């Protein structure tokens, strides 16, 4: 049996992952990243919960603190992008740089005998002996699948990764927590994306970028002023709520104009797009293909996959032609592609959507 570290956030998923590995006979070590004070995922409050679970399981636990690095590498780029009207996925970068990057480096420094790092992600990992690559598949519970957030991981990172919950339903995980006596965690609500946007979104933006909360105009693409917005960071492309009434049309956010502090809106039929331009492509389960691929694309973490063709270009760029037009998502969003077996092929950063 192996010595395995488990990234413990103080939540039910990572706690059950640790318990499952321990039950399999592995020597388990709990480790918690402290990244943001008051965070819904990696705060100092979570450290106390994770440490208590580790004590209950009878395993070692230690803390790794990286508040300054997290602010400079994740929070500040996210804030800057949102002020420009972009919609990046900070969890994607956090997984690459911190949860399977810095965390693993620090673990190896503390205990070189640890051979793997497990997490509570709902995704499945498989080694393909023919290609000699680690392959990521969607989690068995489609409502909790988190493979979308793992598309930037490298093969070297996946070589020592484990996802013990990948084949389980969330209800099963809560039942296992209850059986272990982790009653409080069994009923604890799931953490959400943007775990550092706390205690509320308004509080976060007033503290980090109050200029993004200045009211301004909501302007129709035809040039007419539709109303007033309450701060441009509250709006993302494709959004419908928060636009006010007074129009016979059903309007959606087309984009944000940071220079004029305006939110642009239009009816659905004016916003549908079928052509996507992607950058920073990372291939996960397969090497970069030479031919055009027919894939299933997810344009949001909980989005419904849509089919289309992917054509790889130079410099880690790609062009996507969707079979059916799609409502807009913001520049900077992750677009992740799968094959028909729910295998995560790779992903990229959206740079443009066109009709």
**How far apart are alpha carbons 4 and 113 in whole angstroms?**
9
Q: What is the pLDDT of residue 44?
A: 66
Q: What pLDDT is stored for residue 247 in this prediction?
A: 66
| Spatial distance between the Cα atoms of 285 and 294, rounded to a whole number of angstroms | 15
Class of domain 3-120+164-186: alpha beta
User: Which single residue is written with the structure tokens 């993004």?
Assistant: 212
Q: What does the pLDDT read at residue 188?
A: 75
94 is known as an active-site residue: yes
- Going residue by residue through the chain, which has 355 residues, state the pLDDT in tens, using 9 for 90 and above: 899 999 998 889 999 999 999 999 999 999 999 888 877 676 667 788 899 999 999 999 999 999 999 999 999 999 999 999 999 999 999 999 999 999 999 999 999 999 999 999 999 999 999 999 999 999 999 999 999 999 999 999 999 999 999 999 999 999 999 998 888 778 777 766 788 888 889 999 999 999 999 999 999 999 999 999 999 999 999 999 888 766 678 999 999 999 999 999 999 999 999 999 999 999 999 999 988 999 999 999 988 999 999 999 999 999 999 999 999 999 999 999 999 999 999 999 999 999 7
| CA geometry: angle 278, 268, 349, nearest 5 deg | 15
Question: In angstroms, rounded to a whole number, what is the distance separating the alpha carbons of residues 65 and 179?
Answer: 31
Task: State the pLDDT at residue 10.
Answer: 86
Residue with tokens 């996802």: 163
CB atoms within 10 A of CB 259: 7
Kindly write down the DSSP assignment for every residue of 112-163, as one continuous string: TT--EEE---SEEEEEETTTTEEEEEE-SSTTT--GGGGTT--HHHHTTEE-
DSSP string, 287-298: PPPSS-EEEEEE
CA dihedral 265, 207, 334, 301 (to 10 degrees): -90
> What fold is seen in the domain 273-354?
Elongation Factor Tu (Ef-tu); domain 3 (2.40.30)
The DSSP result for 257-281, as a single string, is ETTTTEEEEEEGGGT-EEEEEEEEE
Distance, CA of 213 to CA of 196 (rounded, Å): 18
Spell out the CATH class of 214-270: mainly beta
**Confidence at residue 296, expressed as pLDDT on a 0 to 100 scale:** 98
pLDDT of residue 1: 85
Instruction: Give the residue extent of every domain in the chain.
Output: 3-120+164-186, 214-270, 273-354
Q: How far apart are CA 125 and CA 226, in angstroms?
A: 49
pLDDT score recorded for residue 198 = 87
**pLDDT in the model for residue 220:** 94
User: What is the C-alpha separation between 36 and 68, in angstroms, rounded?
Assistant: 9
Is pTM beyond 0.75? Reply is: yes
Name residue, tokens 């810095």: 102
Tokens linked to 346:
């790779």
């Amino acid at each position: 049996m192996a010595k395995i570290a488990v990234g413990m956030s103080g939540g039910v998923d990572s706690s059950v992952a640790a318990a499952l590995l321990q039950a399999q006979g592995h020597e388990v070590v709990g480790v918690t990243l402290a990244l943001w004070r008051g965070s819904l995922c990696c705060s100092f409050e979570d450290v106390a919960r994770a440490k208590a679970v580790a004590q209950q399981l009878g395993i070692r636990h230690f803390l790794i603190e990286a508040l300054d690095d997290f602010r400079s590498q994740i929070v500040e780029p996210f804030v800057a992008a949102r002020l420009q009207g972009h919609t990046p996925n900070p969890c994607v970068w956090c997984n690459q740089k911190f949860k399977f990057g810095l965390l693993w480096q620090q673990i190896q420094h503390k205990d070189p005998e640890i051979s793997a790092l497990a997490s509570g992600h709902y995704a499945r990992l498989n080694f393909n002996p023919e290609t000699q690559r680690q392959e990521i598949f969607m989690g068995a519970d489609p409502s909790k699948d988190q493979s979308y957030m793992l598309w930037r991981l490298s093969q070297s990172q996946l070589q020592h990764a484990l996802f013990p919950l990948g084949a389980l339903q969330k209800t099963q995980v809560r039942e296992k927590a209850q059986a272990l006596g982790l009653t409080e965690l069994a009923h604890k609500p799931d953490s959400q994306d943007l775990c550092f946007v706390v205690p509320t979104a308004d509080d976060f933006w007033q503290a980090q970028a109050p200029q993004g909360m200045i009211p301004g105009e909501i302007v129709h693409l035809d040039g007419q002023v539709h109303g007033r917005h309450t701060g441009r960071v509250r709006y993302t492309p494709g959004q419908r709520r928060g636009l006010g009434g007074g129009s016979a049309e059903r309007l959606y956010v087309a984009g944000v104009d940071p220079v004029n502090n305006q939110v642009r809106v239009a009816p659905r039929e004016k916003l549908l797009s079928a052509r996507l331009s992607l950058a920073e492509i990372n291939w996960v389960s397969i090497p970069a293909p030479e031919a055009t691929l027919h894939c299933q694309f997810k344009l949001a973490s909980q989005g419904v996959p849509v089919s289309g063709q992917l054509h790889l270009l130079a410099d880690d760029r790609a062009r996507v032609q969707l079979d059916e037009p799609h409502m807009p998502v913001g520049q900077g969003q992750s677009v992740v592609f799968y094959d028909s077996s729910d295998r995560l092929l790779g992903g990229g950063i959206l740079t443009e959507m066109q009709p």
